[in-house]
Copies of this chain bind each other. A is one copy, B any other.
Amino acid sequence: MTDLLRADRYIEASELGLDLYRGVAELPIVSPHGHIDVRLLADPAARLDPPGRLFVTADHYVVRMLYSQGVPLERAGLRTHEGGEAGVDDRAVWQLLADNVHLFALTPTGLWLRETLATVFGIEESLEPGSAEAIYARVEEQLATPAFAPLALLDRFHVECLSTTDTAGSSLEEHRALTDSAPGLRIRPTFRPDGVTALDAAGWRDALSALEAAADREIGDYVTFVEALAERRAAFKALGATATDHAATSADTTRLADREASALFAAALAGTASRADARRFEAHMLNEFARMSSDDGLVMQLHVGSLRDHNAPLAERFGRDIGGDIPVATDWTRGLRPLLDACGNDPGFGVVLFTLDESTYSRELAPLAGHYPAVSLGCPWWFHDSAAGIDRFLDRVTETAGVYNLAGFVDDARVLTALPARHDLWRRRTCGWLARKVEAGFLGEEEAHRLAWELACGLARRAYRLDA
């Protein structure tokens, strides 16, 4: 195991790569996008999940790989809708991971696991079927200590700021509590309204009700809907939010006439909106949210290209987000045109684009970011947030868009203990990549140090307006 943790791991460059990395390794973590539950942070008594749940059940990357090799989801700790609250043996879930750890060779999941055990828990012994029990005990023991309380971990990880993801209907009470009790923490909410714009989703009415409650008004028509959204954005902003987040299968942002948008919303309320209606309304709302961002300055994040719940039979049994989301090709150039026509030249507007279609890096995204003042490029996302994925991203976008049109790194983490490993891999890979550019004569050393710093935290601060 020792040599897997050698100082220059994942860097793949000469000594300069390690030098560059050393210059950024200890910089604070800037985390403007992720999925840490704010309740965990706001409640001083909250503790992380036990090992099996923390490393397996809560991690959709792990669950999907196990399932792909025939492991039933129930064994990974998941419960079907009708499964009730039958107990899960957390040790058995952990043992399942250990028994299948070979599946994760060469995946970022395997790397994060190894790194997290080593650097967060101090366990350098490799996880194997035979070592599972002993490692479980050591992890469990540490998780129970005050040093592993959520806020203590944030301190230990040098987290400068961390944004959570919150629905449009969130009451934000935990964020309010956090702001009151520990204003220096800079934990920020992010406004994610997908639930109320997907008119055909099963949970739409519930999401709308939550929005009504949060906005304290009945939403009976489209105009009120938009007003409520704008109000909630203001409430988010008041609690430190600098960004919104939007997921869509397609990049379409065609604006509808107000009358048409109103009619679609009314149809949804009446339960008569079709699937196609819902897609047109979503596209329209992306355009509308860009307009709102132009107004209030919240940076718009756009995550495009995942066909959710591809595995319909599984989604029916276990619900959403169990690994059955599969990407599709994306037409950013035509899709974004209406939105950029409206706001792309507005200096007050910022939009960060995340793709699951790597063929668009050099074909569409870098040309868009290298032209429009409003556009910056989000880091490799989801399936592409990996060592080779980072290289492909940098190779394909920087020659056209440069470095300063990138939005830096976001970890997208769901589990607090995963933060260091994710930022560390990004820093190692970007430094290795920069060092190779210096070695090949493209870049001076001094500039490489500056760019390493930008990639580690400068760009994210700027793109997400965190300095303000």
Interface residues of A, Cβ cutoff 8 Å to B = 1, 3-6, 8-12, 64-65, 67-70, 102-108, 111, 126, 305, 307, 310-314, 323-329, 331, 333-334, 337, 340-341, 344-345, 347, 356-359, 362-364, 366-373, 375, 383-384, 386-389, 392, 395-396, 398-405, 437, 439-444, 447, 450-451
Checking B105, B328, B392 against A334 with a beta-carbon cut-off of 8 angstroms, the contacting residue is: B328
Q: Flag if B328 contacts A372 (CB, 8 Å).
A: no
For A12, give the chain B residue with the smallest CB separation: B440
Q: Flag if B399 contacts A108 (CB, 8 Å).
A: yes
Q: 10 A-B Cβ contacts within 8 A?
A: A4-B441, A67-B371, A68-B370, A69-B373, A105-B402, A310-B337, A314-B345, A383-B400, A386-B399, A387-B440
Q: Flag if B328 contacts A333 (CB, 8 Å).
A: yes
A347 to B69, CA, bound (A): 9
A255 to B417, CA, bound (A): 45
Kindly name the residue among A9, A103, A364, A441 whose own CB sees the greatest number of chain B CB atoms within 10 A. A441
Contacts A312-B341, A333-B326, A387-B399 given; indicate if A68 touches B106 (C-beta within 8 A).
no
Q: Flag if B373 contacts A68 (CB, 8 Å).
A: yes
Contacts A4-B441, A10-B441, A67-B371 given; indicate if A451 touches B356 (C-beta within 8 A).
no
Q: Flag if A69 contacts B404 (CB, 8 Å).
A: yes
Q: Flag if B307 contacts A334 (CB, 8 Å).
A: yes
Contacts A311-B345, A388-B395 given; indicate if A403 touches B331 (C-beta within 8 A).
no
Question: For A371, what are the chain B residues with a Cβ–Cβ distance below 8 Å?
Answer: 64, 67-68, 310-311, 323-324, 326
Contacts A344-B311, A370-B65, A373-B69 given; indicate if A106 touches B437 (C-beta within 8 A).
yes
| Nearest CB of B to A367, in Å | 5
Contacts A345-B313, A356-B363, A384-B362 given; indicate if A403 touches B441 (C-beta within 8 A).
no
Question: For A8, what are the chain B residues with a Cβ–Cβ distance below 8 Å?
Answer: 441
| Copies in the assembly, this chain | 3
Q: Flag if B383 contacts A389 (CB, 8 Å).
A: no
Question: For A68, what are the chain B residues with a Cβ–Cβ distance below 8 Å?
Answer: 369-373, 375, 401, 405
Question: For A344, what are the chain B residues with a Cβ–Cβ distance below 8 Å?
Answer: 311
| Nearest CB of B to A379, in Å | 15
Checking B10, B347, B358 against A362 with a beta-carbon cut-off of 8 angstroms, the contacting residue is: B358
Q: Flag if B323 contacts A327 (CB, 8 Å).
A: no
Question: For A362, what are the chain B residues with a Cβ–Cβ distance below 8 Å?
Answer: 358, 383-384, 389
Q: Flag if A404 contacts B444 (CB, 8 Å).
A: no
Q: Flag if A103 contacts B402 (CB, 8 Å).
A: yes
A386 to B399, CA, bound (A): 7
Question: For A363, what are the chain B residues with a Cβ–Cβ distance below 8 Å?
Answer: 305, 327-329, 356-359
Checking B310, B356, B399 against A106 with a beta-carbon cut-off of 8 angstroms, the contacting residue is: B399
A456 to B187, CA, bound (A): 50
Question: For A6, what are the chain B residues with a Cβ–Cβ distance below 8 Å?
Answer: 441
Question: For A392, what are the chain B residues with a Cβ–Cβ distance below 8 Å?
Answer: 395
For A337, give the chain B residue with the smallest CB separation: B310
Contacts A363-B356, A363-B357 given; indicate if A107 touches B12 (C-beta within 8 A).
no
| Nearest CB of B to A93, in Å | 19
A444 to B106, CA, bound (A): 10
Q: Flag if A441 contacts B9 (CB, 8 Å).
A: yes
Contacts A359-B359, A371-B311, A386-B399 given; indicate if A442 touches B331 (C-beta within 8 A).
no
Q: Flag if B358 contacts A402 (CB, 8 Å).
A: no
Question: For A359, what are the chain B residues with a Cβ–Cβ distance below 8 Å?
Answer: 329, 357-359, 363
Given contacts A69-B404, A104-B402, 19 further A-B contacts (CB under 8 A): A4-B443, A9-B440, A68-B373, A69-B405, A105-B451, A107-B400, A305-B363, A311-B371, A326-B371, A328-B364, A329-B359, A357-B363, A358-B359, A358-B363, A362-B389, A366-B383, A387-B440, A388-B395, A388-B399
